[in-house]
Structure 1
């Protein structure tokens, strides 16, 4: 059963509130898992805000599954970083759409609020091993360097913006540690 007000399952909301409390005690950054198509990142931000979390210490994961600029800018306006983090999972959103939305957000001045990643892992057992290279052939650790960066450059994303998204922003996220007073 989903909560009428949030749309989240009550267990999910309970976990988000527990994450917020752990974050406030430890100061470690929060990185979430969302369903961008349902705009769940906004609900996560609301819950974190109710719990007193500084949203600039939160990465809303899987934001790159959305091409809805309005939604993405709402997340940024509230203070969070966007996890443009599923490069290689073209079955969820095609490569061209992922690259285009990052380039568009950079054009709109948002490179300082995005982090790039692939959400890849060294072991994945949700699909049969033989199916993975067919279903997601580019879902690997080299995809950002070999394919994403050149495609972003072709769309006008600068070296400075790439450095911001790949180096500066992750550093800022991890530097902002420390428990809340």
Structure 2
């Protein structure tokens, strides 16, 4: 397979230089509307304090042994690339950013109207925006997206989400970057996503099915991985009701590694370092929901569960490097 460099906030990196990687995090997610009109909600202690706190938390992540974070904050999730540039100037850690749209159905009215206009002209607005983020860069920042994010929820492939997943597939084929998803494993949503991607000609080894760690159904997880796709156990520390606690998540990964699936697993937290989506009272309910939890607590627990050092290296280093390497269209 012909591979290329990985786009990060600070420029391109060789995939083998990414090191230990968390594949699904949110570094800075702030609504432009709230930042402009209700800044006390977006930045309760001021924007400068929010930047400082995020830098400090990322430094803790780096000090814990993580080298790269994939920030999957996209349109609809209040992406702020200029803030990431400012943050990344102060901490020596790779940040890969995403393009895509976060919604379980229709996107924003702006995107919906622009898509309707584009269709009248024989184009696809979603694809055009995603490809531009990857090829041309985002705004005036010079930062290029290195992965595409798309979403389905418990309702599965709704009319709106189907169009966005198809756009993600087309953009992935055109640019060679991978796809990562938000999925509902309780409805086996990853398989539905993969069926659509396969029908659109996506190489499924370039797809990560997100939130797969929210189930202990190993038959489902193996069915996803048997397509060639990768599963993400990416909510460590986020102990939502009805989802497995850390010991169960660890046990599932150990079981899958013992069955030979270590080459199709990645891990993360889905943590939000600074966001106006949530407030301090909510995040206080999840004290382990921090992107240092995997290197400090989960990795030792995986070792104790029998996961070998080789498999840990596969999950934390080699799998992300393989996924994040851009692949030329038509390469084999």
| Aligned ranges 1:72-151 → 2 under 5 Å | 72-91=221-240, 92-134=243-285, 136-151=286-301
Query: RMSD over aligned Cα, in angstroms?
Result: 1.6
Cα deviation 1:53-103 (Å, max 9, x = unaligned): 000000111111111111001011111011111111112331111111111
With normalisation by structure 2, the TM-score equals: 0.51
Q: Give the number of the structure whose alpha-carbon radius of gyration is greater.
A: 2
Stretches (4+) displaced over 3 A: none
> Shift of residue 176 of structure 1?
4.8
- Which residues of structure 1 form unaligned runs of 5+? none
Match of 2:314 in 1: 164
Match of 2:132 in 1: none
Alignment of 1:15 onto 2:164: yes
Cα deviation 1:134-169 (Å, max 9, x = unaligned): 2x1111111001110011111101111100000000
Match of 2:303 in 1: 153
Distance (whole Å) between structure 2 residues aligned to residue 41 and residue 97 of structure 1:
20
Matched pairs, number = 176
More strand by share: 2
Match of 1:179 in 2: 329
Distance (whole Å) between structure 2 residues aligned to residue 73 and residue 131 of structure 1:
33
Match of 1:41 in 2: 190
Report if aligned partners of 1:63, 1:83 keep a CA contact under 8 Å in 2: yes
Report if aligned partners of 1:23, 1:179 keep a CA contact under 8 Å in 2: no
Cα deviation 1:16-37 (Å, max 9, x = unaligned): 0000000011111101110111
Match of 2:7 in 1: none
Distance (whole Å) between structure 2 residues aligned to residue 138 and residue 124 of structure 1:
17
Distance (whole Å) between structure 2 residues aligned to residue 35 and residue 99 of structure 1:
19
Distance (whole Å) between structure 1 residues aligned to residue 156 and residue 171 of structure 2:
23
Distance (whole Å) between structure 1 residues aligned to residue 305 and residue 165 of structure 2:
36
More helix by share: 1
Distance (whole Å) between structure 1 residues aligned to residue 277 and residue 224 of structure 2:
30
